[in-house]
């Protein structure tokens, strides 16, 4: 009998555990890449049709958006072990693309809007790559980060709702800056969870990382528009 120890067994403590974690990570990255297609399609259709999600009533629009999103979250979690879960995830990313279209359309209305979008996309890619590399090199357990990141996310959410009435540009910039930092850290946290075996379902993992990437991109684009946008 061949009792040779494979490299991944050494890293992850034996048996096929390391191979399973690598498989989940590969499937997560593949599905994350695939999820970009319906997102782009949704954004393109939204811009083409002038899609506006209850722009006249920001609070109702926000509540409806949250209701639809949590409906998707519940359904994806319920069917995460089947192809239905994958289809629901892709449907959710299409919906998120539609929701992104208003921001994209506003950016494209600037003379340097296309450059800003490209820069935000490149910056998001750099953040994702950096967090992925960092997750693979850090040996310590990062599970304790979860509660602090969750608290930060709640602060962002509360501040965003409050700014619906306050309409303070400085607060908007502060929220966007905090979102870039918090969700970049969430990328690190979620990828490390997969590597450490804390998340074993690639559909659930993809949903978490997708939301992180989405928020980093949209927040980064808003910052670039605020500081580098040209309305001429």
CB 202 within 8 A of CB 28: yes
CB 42 within 8 A of CB 95: yes
Whether 9 has a pLDDT exceeding 60, the answer reads no
pLDDT digits (tens, 9 = 90+) for 58-102: 888 888 999 999 999 999 999 999 999 999 999 999 999 999 999
Q: How many CB atoms lie within 10 A of CB 3?
A: 4
Domain-wise residue ranges, the chain: 11-228
Pairwise CA distance, residues 18 & 61, whole Å: 44
Q: Average of pLDDT values for 174-197?
A: 96
User: What pLDDT shows up at residue 10?
Assistant: 37
The percent of residues above 70 in pLDDT, for the chain, comes to 91
Contact by Cβ (8 Å): 11, 18 = yes
Of 4 and 103, the structure prediction assigns the larger pLDDT to 103
């Amino acid at each position: 009998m061949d009792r040779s120890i494979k490299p991944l067994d050494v890293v992850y403590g034996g048996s096929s555990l390391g191979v399973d974690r690598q498989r989940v990570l590969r499937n997560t990255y593949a599905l994350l890449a695939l999820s970009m297609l319906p997102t782009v399609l949704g954004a393109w259709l939204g811009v083409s049709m002038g899609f506006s999600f209850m722009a006249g009533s920001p609070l109702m629009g926000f509540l409806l958006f949250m209701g639809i999103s949590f409906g998707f979250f519940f359904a994806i979690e319920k069917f995460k072990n089947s192809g239905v879960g994958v289809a629901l995830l892709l449907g959710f990313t299409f919906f998120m693309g539609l929701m992104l279209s208003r921001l994209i359309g506003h950016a494209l209305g600037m003379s340097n809007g296309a450059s800003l979008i490209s820069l935000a996309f490149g910056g998001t890619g750099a953040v994702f790559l950096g967090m992925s590399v960092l997750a693979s090199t850090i040996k310590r357990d990062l599970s304790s980060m979860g509660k602090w990141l969750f608290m930060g996310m709640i602060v962002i959410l509360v501040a965003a709702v409050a700014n619906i009435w306050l309409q303070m540009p400085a607060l908007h910039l502060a929220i966007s800056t905090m979102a870039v930092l918090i969700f970049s850290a969430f990328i690190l946290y979620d990828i490390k969870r997969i590597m450490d075996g804390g998340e074993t379902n690639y559909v659930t993992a993809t949903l978490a990382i997708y939301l992180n990437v989405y928020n980093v991109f949209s927040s980064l684009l808003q910052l670039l528009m605020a500081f580098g946008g040209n309305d001429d």
